[in-house]
């Protein structure tokens, strides 16, 4: 019977231990690299979620007064993830402070007046409202009324005896609206009329009206001063009689 003899040599304990240490080191290094990468990605996700949570709340249009828009911001201070549009055009506001603040929009409403569409767009909301805008730039204030009439006179009248006499006709002008007109004399009875109407001692007149005076004397007066006032203007009609 033949027997085959095999002579096999095992690795030494030193080599085996060295191999085990090498494998262990490589495994630890590889695991540490993977864990560091995994930890970083988790921190980024947490920070992103924290940022989203911290920007909870809302941004809301409250009111427009003059050229100022009032906006309520419940998200974060210096919030800038928004767009403000007025009548469809972008209106630049850099950022919103936390709470209720006013912001100047005068440059955005130069051509707007009356009912104006204003839209505030954020990442999760669209707030659109109609506000009444009074544009002080485009709406000029009305001119003040002219209450000072043009000057007028009545020529001195000479009568050959005492009687009732009527002055010449004067057309009034140079003022806006209506003004009071009065006539008075200490020496005689005097009245006025506007546009050929009734004889009265006082009335009102507008630009373009015609004014006449009438004086009546029952005795020889030699002369009389008839005082006429129209608003803030006054003049005197001198009436002389040759008795």
pLDDT over 90 percentage in the chain? 21
What mean pLDDT is reported for the chain?
Answer: 78
pLDDT value of position 107: 87
| pLDDT of 32 over the 80 cut | no
Model-level pTM? 0.42
**190 or 42: which leads in pLDDT:** 190
What's the average model confidence in pLDDT over 102-129?
83
53-85 pLDDT per residue, tens:
445 678 888 888 888 888 988 888 888 888 899
Q: Residue 222: which pLDDT band, with cuts at 50, 70 and 90? A: low
Strands annotated E in 94-222: 99-104, 114-122, 126-133, 157-159, 164-166, 170-171, 178-184, 189-194, 202-206, 210-216
123-174 pLDDT per residue, tens:
878 887 777 776 554 455 666 777 889 999 998 877 656 677 888 999 999 9
- C-alpha count within 13 angstroms, C-beta hemisphere, residue 207: 12
In the numeric block, which tokens belong to residue 53?
A: 């949570």
* Cα 219 to chain centroid, rounded: 68
| pLDDT of 50 over the 60 cut | no
pLDDT value of position 2: 55
| Residue-range domain boundaries for the chain | 59-133, 157-241
Q: Contact, 112 vs 99, CB < 8 A?
A: no
In the numeric block, which tokens belong to residue 144?
A: 């003040």
Select from 3.40.50.800, 3.40.640.10, 3.20.20.70, 2.60.40.1510 the CATH code of 157-241: 2.60.40.1510
| pLDDT of 214 over the 70 cut | yes
81-102 pLDDT per residue, tens:
888 998 888 998 888 988 888 8
pLDDT value of position 230: 93
**107 or 20: which leads in pLDDT:** 107
Name the fold adopted by 59-133.
Answer: Immunoglobulin-like (2.60.40)
CA distance 71 to 65: 12
13-27 pLDDT per residue, tens:
666 676 677 666 667
CA distance 81 to 95: 8
Question: ∠ CA(109), CA(110), CA(112), 5° rounding?
Answer: 55
- C-alpha count within 13 angstroms, C-beta hemisphere, residue 184: 7
pLDDT value of position 217: 72
157-241 shares the fold of 59-133: yes
């Amino acid at each position: 019977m033949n027997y085959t003899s095999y002579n096999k040599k095992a690795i030494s304990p030193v080599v085996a231990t060295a191999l085990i240490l090498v494998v262990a080191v490589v495994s630890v290094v590889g695991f540490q690299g993977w864990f560091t990468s995994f930890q970083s990605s988790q921190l980024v996700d947490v920070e992103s979620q924290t940022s989203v949570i911290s920007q909870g709340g809302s941004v809301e249009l409250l009111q427009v007064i003059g050229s100022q828009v009032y906006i309520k911001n419940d998200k974060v201070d210096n919030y800038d993830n928004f767009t403000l549009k007025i009548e469809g055009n972008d209106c630049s506001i850099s950022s919103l402070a936390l709470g209720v603040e006013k912001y100047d929009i005068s440059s955005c409403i130069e051509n707007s007046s009356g009912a104006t569409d204003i839209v505030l767009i954020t990442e999760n909301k669209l707030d659109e409202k109609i506000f009444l805008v009074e544009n002080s730039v485009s709406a000029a204030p009305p001119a003040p009324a002219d209450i000072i009439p043009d000057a007028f006179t009545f020529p001195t009248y000479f009568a050959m005896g005492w009687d009732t006499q009527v002055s010449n006709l004067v057309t009034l002008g140079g003022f806006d609206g209506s003004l009071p007109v009065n006539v008075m004399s200490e020496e005689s009875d005097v009245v006025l009329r506007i546009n050929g109407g009734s004889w009265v001692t006082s009335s009102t007149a507008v630009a373009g009206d015609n004014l006449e005076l009438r004086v009546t004397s029952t005795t020889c007066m030699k002369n009389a001063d008839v005082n006429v006032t129209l608003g803030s203007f006054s003049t005197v009609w001198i009436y002389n009689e040759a008795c």
